[in-house]
Structure 1
């Protein structure tokens, strides 16, 4: 008889005394045999943990039971990390909140679907919404699940692109998810400590073995005034613990105005997604997709600037303005003939999200334009070309290396961007003749190698020119109104 895989079902809770009894009872009633049940309280000050102790003290069922109470409140993201790093022992992890109710067959049905579809990185299922007193209603999640497109049916690359374009709301929310433990461990403990654990695991799944969804309702998802996503009538400032990742930028704790708490939490999520994507590229799990890198880096830059301005102080505003001005000057130099590569995509000197170390293949027009148009997520360190006459020289200010030298240095390079229409011939030579891993090699888009001047700077140039012109026109109109008699 084939043994069933080990599964961990966790119920994490905080200040949910009104609902925790139903959540815990439902977890203990699961009909799956090889199951670890973790009930973890995030330092609730109400009766949540007392109720948990009362229920579990009477439990004599077959499941292994693990209780945990945090000494201090960690928040959803850090609480999730603590559970995944220290408490779970299953191959598959099923998530549950202290205010939701799982059906008795929830775990067993998830396992059936998981095994039947090749053990994907993440499994999602349908849900139904209930209110504070347990009555069913058709809310936003019910509507979403009924009419949304189903990304699990698409190729993973398409699902990833769609998620980056439309991340909110998440296609399958955390209350109805299960994920492989080894996928979490493969990327490691999230150093940015994001609060959105469902976004974290969905993104990691899209970089790993993909997602499966089946439309069976296995959880009652409770919507009430104290939901994490609910917006209080009078939000208050919050003191947030800042991850060590940002220690060179921010203090250990910071007080955020109520409207800015979400700004920082989304910054944490974007940072972690960039780090996970970079890790996937470096490990060979994914090839660097120019569009994905550009989108992620654009979001990261935008959120970083918001964080600097939110931090306050004239110094931060000057840094942002100086960076913009330097990009405009560089674009003007490039536009008028100084074809010198300058990496301009760093986070204003911050070190928490390094770019991908990149070799651009092609010392021609395509390479020249790629060096101008590639996202700041790519940091070009050299150019490679088959032309032996160019080896040892420079191209756009970067050293030109041979394919053989590229092979020798490949362990120090994250990705190779081929800036040529002869992509397939070049990739074949690099992989078949030199043994360079295919996942290291990506293709620059047609726009990237044909656009005559930096795409990312076009908007900056336009802004730099339009604002003075608009000001001059306004002054002229005012002068006309004053000087010309009617």
Structure 2
């Protein structure tokens, strides 16, 4: 890498009770071939040996490892801010306490910021199963997953694989990760950053994201109100000067709800169908409202859902065409 352009990069790591994994995460960052790096590790009042391990690394790598030990548990958003506000780099890379950076990630990603208009960079990530190490899938490998601007971040529900993201610190919101959103604050964080400039895609798999059991990404129905509120807040803050943003947020709501309908059908669950389709009615066009009302009634029947589960691709396509 050109030594002239080696700005300071802060890697913000958030962790809680990950004594068996935090070493691998830290080692993956320390092995990066980049000359100007700090690693901010925010521990959310762990009850295991995670803080002790962080301190051990601080002693081994003084001036590089920067611990932030919360005296009480702050939750995902609070702990993210504990890390973020202690970052002093020109760029901030985001990493979970159980995820992994692959060699060359930081150096290659920093190059994208040589364009002064780039405010956010991301790349494909290997999603793997913790219990076996088996790769489940790779993110951002198809045209449909591509995110090129803030509108894509909204309509596609964020950026898959948080460990892929690096942001320009000067483009970040002053409040950091918005405390209005206890769990899904990363989504509006990316949106508010991307509103300030360009989004750059680095087409190389440079991170690994560990899947355990039922994480936040799988508790979509539980987090629906928080996710839909995100889009309401985006409209309220930024929609007055951007009519297209308002339209994209409405589309984003419909896609989110439709995705949840699809997941409920796969799981053969019907109890939430009327609720989900009532939400679709409130966000759809006249034609979409009519279709949503009928489908909400039809899909509340267990037998119908069981039958339709055999033709999911066609059903998904029909719903998208007529509602989304």
Q: Under a length normalisation based on structure 1, what TM-score does the superposition of the two structures give?
A: 0.47
CA shift in 2, pair 1:108/1:230, >3 Å: same
Q: What does 1:148-227 align with in structure 2 at a 5 Å threshold?
A: 148-149=143-144, 151-153=146-148, 156=149, 160=151, 162-167=152-157, 170-185=158-173, 190=178, 192-225=180-213, 227=215
**1:181-201 Cα deviation digits (max 9, x unpaired):** 111136766252352243223
Q: What does 1:425-464 align with in structure 2 at a 5 Å threshold?
A: none
Equivalent residue number for residue 108 of structure 2: 109
Quick check: 1:24 aligned with 2:19? Answer: no
Equivalent residue number for residue 274 of structure 1: 235
Which structure is higher in RCO with an 8 Å CA cutoff and minimum separation 6? 2
Conserved in 2, the CA contact under 8 Å of 1:125 and 1:216? yes
Q: What does 1:14-413 align with in structure 2 at a 5 Å threshold?
A: 14-59=16-61, 64-84=64-84, 86-115=85-114, 117-133=115-131, 135-139=133-137, 142=138, 144-149=139-144, 151-153=146-148, 156=149, 160=151, 162-167=152-157, 170-185=158-173, 190=178, 192-225=180-213, 227-230=215-218, 261-278=222-239, 288-294=241-247, 296=249
For the residue of structure 2 that corresponds to 1:43, the secondary structure is: coil
Mapped to 1, the partners of 2:214 and 2:155 lie a distance apart of 29
For the residue of structure 1 that corresponds to 2:79, the secondary structure is: helix
For the residue of structure 2 that corresponds to 1:185, the secondary structure is: coil
CA shift in 2, pair 1:64/1:178, >3 Å: same
Conserved in 2, the CA contact under 8 Å of 1:127 and 1:220? yes
CA shift in 2, pair 1:165/1:221, >3 Å: closer
Conserved in 2, the CA contact under 8 Å of 1:194 and 1:269? no
CA shift in 2, pair 1:29/1:299, >3 Å: closer
For the residue of structure 2 that corresponds to 1:72, the secondary structure is: coil
**1:111-137 Cα deviation digits (max 9, x unpaired):** 12222x445110001221332256241
Deviation at 1:17, TM superposition (A): 1.9
For the residue of structure 1 that corresponds to 2:206, the secondary structure is: strand
Conserved in 1, the CA contact under 8 Å of 2:19 and 2:53? yes
**1:395-446 Cα deviation digits (max 9, x unpaired):** xxxxxxxxxxxxxxxxxxxxxxxxxxxxxxxxxxxxxxxxxxxxxxxxxxxx
Conserved in 1, the CA contact under 8 Å of 2:121 and 2:166? yes
> Cα RMSD (Å) of the superposition?
3.6
Conserved in 1, the CA contact under 8 Å of 2:156 and 2:252? no
Q: Which of the two has higher C-alpha Rg?
A: 1
Deviation at 1:80, TM superposition (A): 1.6
Q: When the two structures are aligned, how many residues end up with a matched partner?
A: 265
Mapped to 2, the partners of 1:291 and 1:3 lie a distance apart of 36
CA shift in 2, pair 1:213/1:70, >3 Å: same
For the residue of structure 2 that corresponds to 1:71, the secondary structure is: coil
Conserved in 2, the CA contact under 8 Å of 1:6 and 1:34? yes
For the residue of structure 2 that corresponds to 1:175, the secondary structure is: helix
CA shift in 2, pair 1:271/1:192, >3 Å: farther
Conserved in 1, the CA contact under 8 Å of 2:117 and 2:198? no
Mapped to 1, the partners of 2:19 and 2:213 lie a distance apart of 14
Structure 2 alignment gaps of length 5 or more? 257-282, 294-324
Conserved in 2, the CA contact under 8 Å of 1:43 and 1:73? yes
Structure 1 alignment gaps of length 5 or more? 232-258, 282-287, 304-374, 376-454, 467-486
